Structure 1
């Protein structure tokens, strides 16, 4: 029996490396795409990740046509996983843990994945399974500084207890309708934005899962995305969950030359109501400022990349909180502006 269990575990470990799961914006495929873009094998990348299969197949095709031998080999490896018949109920193990001054945390489980291009206009990427969590953190819902987890921690008050462990379900999924140029994507997953992988001041791939609704135009040298995330937050008193909180984001970028890209990003965080006007592209900030009287929390900024010799890239995001149009045009600088500048040379 022990030999059988060991064999099953080895099979699960081997299976782990066979599948790339696009629903996860931290998946290795996005690291490769970012590298290939910096080397000029790819023209431009949409700002919002994850990407559906339709887009990934197009981007990997560009690498096959323009990349060096090593890049083409890796691109063909990814393509073989994406264009084959859908991989349904692939199984792989999962484990992560850490120990810090604030306590320890560990999570172990088994994933069942469904992933593939069902039709030329329809793709799915999903992962579900069960987790056994052991958590002795001082605050069960707050990770220590510098610690990241691949999965979210779940604390809903009615977990099943198995010894010192809590048993929780874990599910992320995304479905995309459309082509590589125009597509609508919806699901429950992590989302990331902008040229920075791993860290982004706008939306980070380490942010918790959220309901995701987005429409994207992925042009040859320009990209547009309208995104709505359904967030979950605690009440101010910390005694309950507040689930009527939304993030509406609009981004538009342009590849103005082979060596440079620039883009605009605007977002609004609001709650207690769902306003359909926020679905209208490029009008949400004006509507909120002029007609609503700044009822919500707005951010505006720009981002860009410069591709320099020796494959060096300078990435930049400028993101400001509550920049008021009326204050700017009347030169009223006493507005207590809050902004962040994120920059990196890689």
Structure 2
């Protein structure tokens, strides 16, 4: 404990976490902007976040004139926070504590962490048409994020790998910048940042504000009745099986665009497309034309999704939105009303309410569903072979440097969420969030023949943890394409597995800004999260290849098992037996857990 507090003092003196609005779509400004739009103070917002500094300034200036008293005060407070200095030096320190109790095995474990970041940031508006935002920091932590964080929550700093070690600390670069050119309604922005899309802030299906950052080029047009936005991103690739092969690769790209129609002030309808591709860059995806015919020019080998987003505003301050994200569907079966088929769709619906002139800034409730194999995609070793290796860089799945680009949920999951944000005074903020999450590992529902094929595979060839890395194909080196996994290709498979992981989370966070002085501004913050996990471990691998000593000689049609000549039937019988054992071991390893997370920290900006 003494070493922990000594580390905390040291870290607090040198490191922190802070970000500028135009390079960070998770900044609190974006929640305020959504509330102000719902109340009618400001015109329609751009579809893709973040926004240029000039637009941020324009929004705040408008609300300071048009808003009600509490919103005018908040806008003024945010204006001073963001634009009082062109360059700020910041430092933050945070101590974290996790107490985990394994209810099944009646054991307890405590984990501690000290983290922080220090750097410089700012918003520079050169003139009404050109602006520059930057946040150049160094982030450090003692304990890996995965060991201290609640389930299904992305890491806030943009640091994933390539750390430097300084004693007990891991030190990372955490840099984001952008340059914007244009007006509030028409602009181009280029830089390095996270990106977000849709009304569910920090929880989107297509572009999640909390996902890992990318090098991107963003284009926006906002008109009274319609708008168009697009972003082209250079992202990072991980291997088909990142559990075995941890290398990162370049040559992976994402392109997204959306067109929005607003026939009146109560209804908005957006159609969007996004495509993940590589290793070759296709500049045609930057053009404002449909992606489907573009990908057909090259043989339809890229990973295309599309979606519809309907937003309805029945009253001032109230929004009801529904988002349907389509990855792949079997149209022929659906027309025949057969819904136990390949339907790779994610959906989200919910409401956001921003009360007028209230200490409560917003209340939100939504339901999200990610069907099996959404976001997942395989990558062949070569263009002319259906062979799949675990070490091959995957430039098709919906991840960036190993972080989900869309929903934080794994495929075959759903979630009910509630949040409430309060601010009695601009300098005092409270937030309350609850989540109930279910996740089923689709591999548990494999029939014995599919399970046997996973066991007969090479070690590290496939992953069976139910994540976006568990795809729908088996390797087939004798063909130009792989072989379908029957259960994955022919059935819906939503929540059909026997064991489901259930997660209940409840979080409370508070922030207090101390009075500003000539020496800067200090913010104190604290947080607590309760988490109950039923069947923890469902999201772990079930079947493992490389556990049976067998081979097949195609020239002589001869099977070998444990060094002796055998038959196909005997080899598969052995594989089914091993698969049943592995599945039982996976089932026996499931546990129920209660986790408590406590955090205390500060942020100082000069």
Q: What TM-score do you get using the length of structure 2 for normalisation?
A: 0.49
In structure 1, the residue matched to 2:239 is 235
Asked if 1:276 corresponds to 2:283, the answer is: yes
Alpha-carbon offset, residue 189 of structure 1: 1.0
Query: Greater CA deviation, 102-111 or 167-176?
Result: 102-111
Residues 43, 221 of structure 1: 8 Å contact kept: no
In structure 2, the residue matched to 1:248 is 255
Distance 1:66 1:258, change over 3 A: farther
Asked if 1:322 corresponds to 2:328, the answer is: yes
Distance 1:333 1:282, change over 3 A: farther
Match among 347, 351, 368 for residue 345 of structure 1: 351
Asked if 1:309 corresponds to 2:315, the answer is: yes
Alpha-carbon offset, residue 231 of structure 1: 0.9
Alpha-carbon offset, residue 80 of structure 1: 4.6
SS in structure 1 of the partner of residue 29 of structure 2 = helix
Asked if 1:45 corresponds to 2:29, the answer is: no
Alpha-carbon offset, residue 336 of structure 1: 2.1
Alpha-carbon offset, residue 294 of structure 1: 1.9
Alpha-carbon offset, residue 61 of structure 1: 3.8
Q: What TM-score do you get using the length of structure 1 for normalisation?
A: 0.83
Distance 1:98 1:188, change over 3 A: farther
Residues 21, 53 of structure 2: 8 Å contact kept: no
Distance 1:332 1:293, change over 3 A: farther
Distance 1:215 1:279, change over 3 A: same
In structure 1, the residue matched to 2:440 is none
Residues 20, 122 of structure 2: 8 Å contact kept: no
In structure 1, the residue matched to 2:165 is 161
Match among 149, 156, 168 for residue 155 of structure 2: 149
Two-structure CA RMSD over aligned residues (Å) = 3.1
Deviations 1:231-272 (A, max 9, x none): 112122433212111110011112221122111111111111
SS in structure 2 of the partner of residue 87 of structure 1 = coil
1:254-265 alignment to 2 at 5 Å? 254-265=261-272
Say which one has the larger Rg.
2
In structure 2, the residue matched to 1:299 is 305
Distance 1:208 1:143, change over 3 A: farther
Question: Relative contact order, CA 8 A, sep 6+: which one is greater?
Answer: 2
Residues 265, 300 of structure 1: 8 Å contact kept: yes
Distance 1:36 1:232, change over 3 A: same
Query: Structure 2 CA distance, aligned partners of 1:331 and 1:227?
Result: 34
Residues 97, 104 of structure 1: 8 Å contact kept: yes
Asked if 1:87 corresponds to 2:86, the answer is: yes
Alpha-carbon offset, residue 222 of structure 1: 2.2
Alpha-carbon offset, residue 65 of structure 1: 4.2
In structure 2, the residue matched to 1:115 is 123
Asked if 1:172 corresponds to 2:199, the answer is: no
Aligned length: 326
Residues 82, 116 of structure 1: 8 Å contact kept: no
Query: Structure 1 CA distance, aligned partners of 2:22 and 2:30?
Result: 8
Residues 83, 117 of structure 1: 8 Å contact kept: no
1:9-48 alignment to 2 at 5 Å? 21-48=21-48
Alpha-carbon offset, residue 96 of structure 1: 6.3
5+ unaligned residues in a row in structure 2: which ranges? 1-8, 101-108, 353-606
Distance 1:38 1:96, change over 3 A: farther
Asked if 1:58 corresponds to 2:58, the answer is: yes
In structure 1, the residue matched to 2:512 is none
Distance 1:155 1:143, change over 3 A: farther
In structure 2, the residue matched to 1:204 is 208
Distance 1:203 1:315, change over 3 A: same
